[in-house]
Chains A and B, each alone.
Chain A
Amino acid sequence: MQRLLPATFSIVGTARKALSHEEYREELHAAVAQHSRTRPLNEEVWHSFAEHLHFVATPDDAGYEELRRTLDQLDFALGTHANRLFYLATPPPAYEPIVKAIGEHRLRGQTGWARIVVEKPFGHDRESARALNEVVHTVFREDEVFRIDHYLGKETVQNILVLRFANGIFEPIWNRQYVDHVQITVAETIGVEERAGYYEQAGAMRDIVQNHLLQLLALVSMEPPAAFDDKAVRDEKVKVMRALRPIAGEDLAKNAVRGQYTRGFIEGVPVPGYREEPGVAPDSRTETYVALKSWVDNWRWEGTPFYLRTGKRLPKHSTEIAIQFRVAPHQLFSREALAGLEPNALVLRIQPDEGISLKFGAKVPVQGIRIRAVNMDFDYGASFMVDAPDAYETLILDALRGDATLFTRHDEVDEQWAFVDPIIKGWAESPGGPALYEAGTWGPVEADNLIERDGREWRKA
């Protein structure tokens, strides 16, 4: 709707079920009318867009043959040179057969480029991710594979790199000398909704930590890349992922907490507990909350812990990264004056209320010295007065342009699983289950202990 697509293109939908072109267009029309950022929908614009929409059912080999013929015809008619982007919005088990079918039925064109976009999760552990990779690589080269983590498409996530590397004042203090610790929070208010079948198998560790949380961690902790291109940026991310200290054995009980929500209230409305959700086993041990204390073992971060937490049915929908700095080395003000002072913190709010704030102590305007922590706020919405593009818009356009900077490379996925696998394995082998927390609270008390043990506390997100 914003004229971002090239002059000639076509979108061919495919699924196992049969739909006519018209039915497919109607389905999309309804979806776009409901979700587009530019509402109400301009019907004129829609009509010109809808001409590019086609549908082919692929329940079997004959269907794939039909798909190939359709694609060839469209190429011929539009002069698109067989440039093809395959987008897999399917459940993970379907990835392998589809990729194989793309290979067998020669759906890659003869002349142009071919790329494939794969949704998360990529595999369910390191081994399965490697196996899936092998299958994908039989049809696509690594530079043709675009593993989507939609967090990377968010403006504020990209802005982490801009903040760190386009400015001169942050990088010099972005290290163990000045940073006391880092907190990364991905909090959701929703429960499992209709995804119980998937979530029961995945849990918060695979659903959020393995991809979103570790991506945020990598962007915050990585070394400056030499260039802003897919190779340089992803090389640095992989390096920092390799430096992540594994949590296993004795460390597991100390540095990792899993939780599961029980019934409670969200925004004043009663919600069921996880085990009461449809499709969830009544004795499920799936974790809906994870808190971790992790270390990046390298020169820059030695001794600075990274606290990560994510959960469902937390009181507030919020994603943020907080860099908490060390306190002033010598305090000249009295204890009373300092009562309102808190350590300096730089907070990157990913959602909602996208923005950045810096907290510092200021003198309260009264007689005598009284210090209060205040926030200097940068608010995306109020400063730029535009809605940020949706993460998927950004990423799909990037994939069309062939820019893989914001996509996950195979070695990154591999390192992510290498960190996550031992934790999941350790939990599976331990006799206990997840600690329970009431829906609408900030997670189990064990998670508070995890950080309070170090004399720190979770931020009020």
Chain B
Amino acid sequence: MAQGVVVDTTFWGARQGGVAALERELTRLRRAQSAHARELGRPIARASVLNLIVYADREEHARRAARSIADLALRHPSRAIVVLVDRGAREGLDERIEMHCRLPIADGARLVCYEQILVRAHGDVEDRLASAVIPLLVPDLPVFLWWTGTPPLGSRSFGDLLRLTDRLVVDSADFARPEVTLPIIANISEAARGRFGLTDLNWTRLTPWREIATAFFDVPSWRLFLDGITGLRVGFAVDMDGRDIHPSQALLFVGWLASRLGWRPLETLAPSEAGGLLFAIARPDGARIMVRVRPRFERGLEEGDISGVRIQAARGRQLAEFVVKRQPSPRHQTATVLLDGQPRWERTMPLPSPAIVELIGEELSILGSDRTYEAALAALVELA
């Protein structure tokens, strides 16, 4: 008889027969935990401030997500529902959904208990997946849907889960073709305005780059160059053979500048050498800005991460260049300002490279939509 892959019950908890049984088991576990804690004189609070649904189609991703959630328990205690879908289940195995649950104790957080549920689905469960997830949601708490991998746009289960969601969390660094997927997601989010917000972990990674770029133009005399930008170059990391091209972070940076500075599309994105992109954008005054997004091989960088930014500007006869470079080991950024080719200012700053858990932790604190991100995406859509 065909058997499904056995789930590691020490990690995911014992298998439960249905939602009611699962809730009973969680109640039992909570009571046992709180009775034990009372004996020690340290009562445990059951805390959850959000429902977090994680969708994964590989156990490895599901586990990684579950560990991240455990690390987040102090900041964002949640009911975590990890949905692991094994679409390619072997033949002869019916579509079925099993559930496991556990109350993991987060590191150093013995006073807070949170709940971890695994929903494991086999085979074609498109039409029924949501019906297994809905009854597991804690009523009245916001629902975050963290979709690992490229969202299967147009699939029923994705649409069903999206309808439950207050905020969709994706990582465009994982998208197979971000230049196609990002605009579609932007459209979905635009259509759902007010119903759910959209978050991209890759956007969160961009924060230090946005901060330093903004800092240049906080200086009153350099601020004047903002209206005179003539060129923009953004480099992003690829691996040695240049096979995997993930320009989404770099594109988001371009989209962000375009949306903040009111740049309009002049030409559509056009591929250039070695997986790069070269195109022109119009400033509000109509002048052309050449934008070059290009892949670079650099040791010690995650694929897709921005490796450097160069903003060229002119004001009257004076030329300026604002340059930020990422330096490997130890990780830091150097920011340089050149006026008429002469270095006038240089500064070195630490460059955090946050783990995914910190990124998601940051995003879970936002419930409303991130207007700046949405605007950046919208600008990208216009360019595409």
A and B form one complex: yes
Q: Which A residues are closer than 8 A to B by beta carbons?
A: 189, 264-270, 315-318, 320, 336, 338-340, 345, 347, 349, 352-353, 357, 359, 364-366, 370, 372-375, 377, 379, 381-382, 385, 440, 459-461
In the complex, what distance in Å separates the CA atom of A227 from the CA atom of B135?
Answer: 40
User: B20 near A: Cβ within 8 Å?
Assistant: yes
Measured between beta carbons, the chain A residues less than 8 angstroms from B371 are 336
Q: Is the CB of A381 within 8 A of B135?
A: no
In the complex, what distance in Å separates the CA atom of A269 from the CA atom of B139?
Answer: 22
B30, B128, B139, B366: the one within 8 Å of A318 (CB): B139
A268, A339, A364, A459: the one within 8 Å of B139 (CB): A459
Measured between beta carbons, the chain B residues less than 8 angstroms from A352 are 20, 23
In the complex, what distance in Å separates the CA atom of A364 from the CA atom of B142?
Answer: 14
User: B141 near A: Cβ within 8 Å?
Assistant: yes
Known contacts A267-B131, A268-B97, A381-B27; 17 further A-B pairs (Cβ under 8 A): A266-B131, A267-B18, A268-B96, A269-B97, A269-B128, A317-B135, A339-B369, A340-B366, A340-B367, A347-B139, A347-B140, A365-B365, A373-B142, A375-B141, A382-B46, A440-B130, A460-B164
Measured between beta carbons, the chain B residues less than 8 angstroms from A315 are 131, 134-135
In the complex, what distance in Å separates the CA atom of A357 from the CA atom of B125?
Answer: 34
A268, A364, A373, A460: the one within 8 Å of B121 (CB): A268
| Chain B interface SS verdict (over half) | mixed
User: B223 near A: Cβ within 8 Å?
Assistant: no
Q: Is the CB of A340 within 8 A of B142?
A: yes
Given contacts A320-B139, A375-B140, contact A440 B134 (CB under 8 A): yes
Residue of B nearest to A442 (CB): B134
Measured between beta carbons, the chain B residues less than 8 angstroms from A268 are 96-97, 121, 125, 128-129, 131-132
Q: Which B residues are closer than 8 A to A by beta carbons?
A: 18-20, 23, 27, 30-31, 34-35, 46, 49, 96-97, 121, 125, 127-132, 134-135, 137, 139-143, 164, 197, 365-369, 371
Distance (whole angstroms) from the CB of B115 to the closest CB of chain A? 12
Q: Is the CB of B367 within 8 A of A440?
A: no
Measured between beta carbons, the chain B residues less than 8 angstroms from A264 are 131
Measured between beta carbons, the chain A residues less than 8 angstroms from B20 are 317, 352
In the complex, what distance in Å separates the CA atom of A340 from the CA atom of B144?
Answer: 13
Q: Is the CB of A359 within 8 A of B131?
A: no
Distance (whole angstroms) from the CB of B168 to the closest CB of chain A? 15
User: Can you name 28 A-B pairs with beta carbons within 8 Å?
Assistant: A189-B135, A264-B131, A265-B131, A266-B131, A267-B18, A268-B97, A269-B97, A269-B128, A315-B135, A317-B19, A317-B135, A318-B139, A338-B368, A339-B367, A339-B369, A340-B367, A352-B20, A352-B23, A353-B27, A364-B365, A379-B46, A382-B46, A385-B35, A440-B128, A440-B130, A459-B140, A460-B137, A460-B164
Measured between beta carbons, the chain A residues less than 8 angstroms from B197 are 339
B30, B35, B132, B140: the one within 8 Å of A460 (CB): B140
Q: Is the CB of B368 within 8 A of A339?
A: yes
Distance (whole angstroms) from the CB of B122 to the closest CB of chain A? 10
Measured between beta carbons, the chain A residues less than 8 angstroms from B164 are 460
B127, B143, B368, B369: the one within 8 Å of A265 (CB): B127
In the complex, what distance in Å separates the CA atom of A329 from the CA atom of B132?
Answer: 40
Top 10 nearest A-B pairs (CB, nearest first) are A339-B368, A340-B367, A268-B97, A268-B132, A265-B131, A265-B128, A440-B131, A315-B134, A316-B135, A268-B128
Measured between beta carbons, the chain A residues less than 8 angstroms from B141 are 375
Q: Which of A315, A345, A364 has the most CB atoms of chain B within a 10 A radius of its CB?
A: A315
Given contacts A347-B140, A382-B34, contact A366 B131 (CB under 8 A): no
Measured between beta carbons, the chain B residues less than 8 angstroms from A316 are 19, 134-135
In the complex, what distance in Å separates the CA atom of A352 from the CA atom of B132?
Answer: 17
Q: Is the CB of B46 within 8 A of A366?
A: no
Measured between beta carbons, the chain B residues less than 8 angstroms from A317 are 19-20, 135
In the complex, what distance in Å separates the CA atom of A340 from the CA atom of B142?
Answer: 9
Distance (whole angstroms) from the CB of A149 to the closest CB of chain B? 23
Q: Is the CB of A461 within 8 A of B125?
A: no
Measured between beta carbons, the chain A residues less than 8 angstroms from B97 are 267-269
B18, B134, B368: the one within 8 Å of A340 (CB): B368
Residue of A nearest to B127 (CB): A265
Measured between beta carbons, the chain B residues less than 8 angstroms from A461 are 139-140
Distance (whole angstroms) from the CB of B199 to the closest CB of chain A? 13
Distance (whole angstroms) from the CB of B130 to the closest CB of chain A? 8
B18, B27, B139, B365: the one within 8 Å of A370 (CB): B365
Residue of A nearest to B96 (CB): A268
